[in-house]
Amino acid sequence: MKAIVLAAGYATRLYPLTKDRPKPLLEVAGKTILDYIVEKMDKVTQIDEVIIVTNDKFTTHFEEWSKSASYTKKLTVVNDGTLTNETRLGAIGDIQFVLEQLKVEDDLMVLAGDNLFDFELTDFASYFDEVGTDCITAYHEENDDQLKRAGIVELDNDGKVLSFEEKPAQPKSSYCVPAFYLYQKDTLSKFKQYLLEGNNPDAPGHFVPFLIKYKPVHAYLFDGKRYDIGNLESYERVQGIFADKTK
């Protein structure tokens, strides 16, 4: 299994913090967001390589990080060649870029590079092996405003995905889908098909409603908190939460 960390965004909503530093390398309670993520990936025995896909502006930052990192998995930094927010490939475009550049033919874990979370990726990988299908993650959300800002999934009693919608005006369920995915190796060709058909290359969740037309997808329901760092306010809030945790 390969793992991709999506880190090619420009995080303009976090300026000036991210004007010269990529968001995944911002520190929270003395440790980078990326280190929190890769520490959890490092525990997943199925993974043999962690691939950080970034842009031309921030490639050297991640290369320097990887040189000083000490994990058991191979670390690879991939430059998607873009220089501005306006020319970015989008998350799904970046996944396909990595698949082509590195000729990936293994099962694939995909995570956004700006999420902090409590649950263990080892449990997610075990669920993936157990159900034998592509998998997303989901959690119960009670806040109606948050439901309208997220990807929302409908599930049957076995956790199979029935429908998925990004930022719905009228959410069909209370299950939010953050950017944690596991794809079987025979699914990877679908990314190219998705893009060739002119679909949205940006938010990675857009791939899910496309995929369920072809294959079953299950949702791993996790407990615990997950923190999305999207702007200065959310970054400051997460800083406070993690500072309290380390006391």
**CATH number, residue 43:** 3.90.550.10
* Structure confidence at residue 247 as a pLDDT band (50, 70, 90): low
Above 70 in pLDDT, residue 246?
Answer: no
Give the distance, in angstroms, between the CA of residue 34 and the centroid of all CA atoms in the same chain: 11
Tell me what the mean pLDDT of segment 156-166 comes to: 93
Percent of the chain predicted with pLDDT > 70: 99
89, 80 contact by CB (below 8 A): yes
> Residue 214: its pLDDT value, please?
96
> Residue 127: its pLDDT value, please?
97
* Structure confidence at residue 219 as a pLDDT band (50, 70, 90): very high
List of residues 6+ apart from 166 with CB closer than 8 A: 150, 151, 152, 203, 205, 206
List of residues 6+ apart from 236 with CB closer than 8 A: none
> Residue 149: its pLDDT value, please?
81
- What's the whole-number average pLDDT of the chain? 93
Tell me what the mean pLDDT of segment 75-89 comes to: 92
Percent of the chain predicted with pLDDT > 90: 70
Q: How many CB atoms lie within 10 A of CB 107?
A: 21
**Domain count for the chain:** 1
Q: How many CB atoms lie within 10 A of CB 194?
A: 19
Domain containing 108 equals 2-245
Q: What are phi and psi of 74, to 5 degrees?
A: -65, 135
List of residues 6+ apart from 157 with CB closer than 8 A: none
User: Residues 163-185, buried b or exposed e (16+ Cβ, 10 A)?
Assistant: ebbbebeebebbbbbbbbbbbee
Tell me what the mean pLDDT of segment 9-20 comes to: 87
Tell me the whole-structure pTM to 2 decimals.
Answer: 0.93
> Residue 106: its pLDDT value, please?
97
* Structure confidence at residue 84 as a pLDDT band (50, 70, 90): confident
Q: How far apart are the first and last CA of the chain?
A: 36
User: 214, exposed or middle or buried, with CB in 10 Å at 0-12, 13-18, 19+?
Assistant: exposed
